Chains A and B, each alone.
Chain A
Amino acid sequence: MSNMNMVEALNDALRLEMKRDKNIVLIGEDVGEEGGVFRVTDGLAKEFGNERVMDSPLAESGIVGTSIGMAVVGLKPICEIQFEGFIFPAIDQLVSHASRIRNRSRGRFSVPMVVRCPIGGGIKALEHHSDSPESYFVHTPGLKVVMPSGPYDAKGLLTSAIRDPDTVIFFEPKKIYRAIKEEVPSESYAIPLGKAHVIKEGKDVTLIAYGAWVKTAKEVVEQMKNVDIELIDLRTLSPLDTETIIDSVQKTGKCVIVQESPRTLGLASEIIARINEKAFYSLEAPIERVTGFDTIVPLRLHEEYYLPSVEKISNAIEKVMKNAKGLS
């Protein structure tokens, strides 16, 4: 056990997995000597050598495309895309190939690789450094998408992602890279993909969050003493754990979903659709969502106005509670 932030926990997961399996290689911009711009791969080049930890040319399509090639012949590439805003040169490789090779070859080839990528706002950065494009990937059949909410989960989920037989896009919310410290076991452990985490049980309202906003949602749970909130951390965005969501909403009858990405066709849209299909008659009030706007994330001075917050989430919960009373 030691007290770690998410950067350290991710680094730990990579180190342990690389020790376990010598076919794991890392590739990405500045991941070598520099240790990645966020230091997630710090020290790994030194420990495992430049053949296993490769500084790549500045080319995301190249990084992901060559990783696909490495994966199909038996390596386990873990590539790093420096920021979510720079994943788009690689989108052709992800959408046209990584996600489809198993299907195209009827199982003869598969692409067991991990694409690590920082995501989201909250660090007052330049354009393309604050976006939340997870929906593009969730929308792509054949890709798995994971987003941890803290150090403990980050280590366990990355370990599972590395051991997974398919392509996993592993988004790391940069707002909480160093904002949360937790006790993290020193040995290796895996948290299953595809399973949501009920962080706190409650009977009044289901609050669903993922990534950086789980921390904020916890603060809401702390502050709203008068409402018994059930807090769910999705952990994996694709495949989505419908069962845990439906079970919860059937119990509480109310739901609030938090997502940083633009509102239209964000995760909340899909979750609301599934609740509509499977738990409509349990609902006591319309579902509320706290989301980013359908705009470009503002630069540093106005970013705050775009992002979810304790106030925005609390207001949504109060609204759902009030509407439920109105209905009953």
Chain B
Amino acid sequence: MRKIIANFEVPYLQILNENGKFDEKDLPKISEENLKKMYEFMILTRVFDDKAWKLQRQGRLGTYAQMKGQEACQIGSAFALEKNDLIFPAFRENGIFMIKGVLPEMLFRYWAGDERGMQIPSKINIFPISITVGSHLPHAVGAAMAFKYLEQKNVSVVYFGDGATSEGDFHEAMNFAGVYKSPCIFICENNQWAISVPVKEQTASQTIAQKAIAYGFPGIQVDGNDLFSVYKATSEAVARARKGEGPTLIECFTYRIGDHTTSDDSKRYRSENEVREWEKKDPIIRFENYLLQKKIINPALIGKIKSESEAQIERAVSLAESAKPQSPTEMFNYLYQDLTSNLKEQMEQSKRENKVITKNVGASERAVENAGVVGELEEA
């Protein structure tokens, strides 16, 4: 006997298409005030991103991972969450950090190489950046398992790229989430590239969304450059999770407009044509046109929002750069709750050495430049 014992479908959602067309009845209910807020965050994120890029070029930040083009994925999804929901970001989620209330000056400090930039205020429920690709997915599932155990109605939300879906941790996390029916939302920002590897070479699956099927819960692909689709899919996933119906995987189909990081040169592996095609689908412009059409904003207001964002980001840069440097011995303070005697001894040694080092820091900066390594570091 041979018969079909299971059938699966992979849904796709697009509400506001690349030509600005939409069906009124598909639109999620969002107040005008919130629509404006979402737009403001998209602009703020874009201004931050552009500024960070420039600062890196001037040597004022270290390696930076741009998110240009992915604003709808981040703003659209984060807006569908409640304050107590816990977010586990990867390393390209600056927009999410800002929506959650992390100030841009904190982010600038982090990217400049100051650990305090990731000392998130206790009221803000977002985990620090996670650089080892895919490794943070199980944490999100664990947090969701805890929410369930503690009978809290929160959900956890984890962000990751298309590349991350190849890591074992992705599969283990998805499986756990399915088995324990955890209130966890998996948001894959499929930006088509993992450094130089296109998604076609990353997986033989037709979609990333369908990977959820194997683990027994729904997956959906959405137009990741359409804020409404992302918002709606996330809201539905959150509602499901809060009702105890378990996890959802949302694949946001989008594009990384910038290089992988400031150390990468994407011209080596992808055509500029491809980038230009995607630039036409810019999520901010698409949303902006909608808001203009609905008369929720007008050109004067757009100008005002942009200049206010620029002013805020400039202020953030000067706040970040004028902050008192942390003490070099801070590296000893967060290994354990209490300093061990071994670390205490090493800290004292470090204090004696630091007098010499402070004198020489300029020289070693130059040495690194001479090594030419920095320019070659093609990495997050």
Contact = CB atoms under 8 A, between A and B. Distances in A.
Contacts of B307: none
Interface stretch (A27-35, A134-142, A162-170, A275-283): A27-35
B357 interface: yes
Interface string A108-127: 00000000000000111111
Contact of A304 (B194, B357, B372): B357
Interface stretch (B26-34, B75-83, B223-231, B327-335): B327-335
Interface stretch (B16-24, B45-53, B162-170): B162-170
A293 B339 CA distance: 13
* Chain A interface main SS type: loop
A302 B113 contact: yes
Contacts, number: 171
B326 interface: yes
A37 interface: yes
Interface string B332-369: 10010000001100100010011011001100100110
A273 interface: no
Interface stretch (B2-10, B138-146, B180-188, B197-205): B197-205
Interface string A178-198: 110000000000000000000
Contacts of B379: 37, 82-83, 125-126, 129
A178 B377 CA distance: 11
Given A30-B197, A37-B378, A58-B164, A124 B368 contact: yes
A311 B358 CA distance: 12
B370 A123 contact: no
A62 interface: yes
> How big is chain A's contact interface, by range?
35 or more
Interface string B35-46: 000000000000
B261 to A, nearest CB: 9
Contact of B380 (A32, A123, A126, A311): A126
A29 B197 CA distance: 8
Nearest to B372: A178
A55 B373 contact: no
B332 A295 contact: yes
Given A34-B196, A39-B376, A302-B326, A294 B132 contact: no
Central interface residue in B129, B194, B203, by most chain A CB within 10 Å: B194
Contact of B196 (A55, A60, A62, A304): A55
A33 B268 CA distance: 8
A59 B167 contact: yes
A175 B368 CA distance: 8
B195 A124 contact: no
Given A38-B378, A62-B166, A127-B131, 10 more contacts: A29-B194, A30-B197, A37-B263, A85-B132, A175-B373, A177-B373, A294-B342, A295-B331, A300-B112, A309-B364
Interface of A: 7, 29-30, 32-35, 37-39, 55, 57-62, 82-83, 85-86, 88-89, 122-129, 174-179, 263-264, 293-296, 298-306, 309, 311-312
20 contacts: A33-B196, A37-B378, A37-B379, A38-B376, A57-B166, A57-B197, A59-B166, A86-B132, A89-B132, A124-B374, A125-B379, A126-B380, A129-B379, A174-B377, A295-B331, A295-B343, A298-B328, A299-B115, A301-B325, A303-B113
Q: Identify the 4 closest CB pairs spanning chains A and B, nearest first.
A: A300-B113, A34-B196, A179-B371, A57-B166
Interface of B: 62-63, 91, 112-115, 129, 131-135, 163-164, 166-169, 194-197, 201-203, 263, 268-269, 325-326, 328, 330-332, 335, 342-343, 346, 350, 353-354, 356-357, 360-361, 364, 367-368, 370-374, 376-380
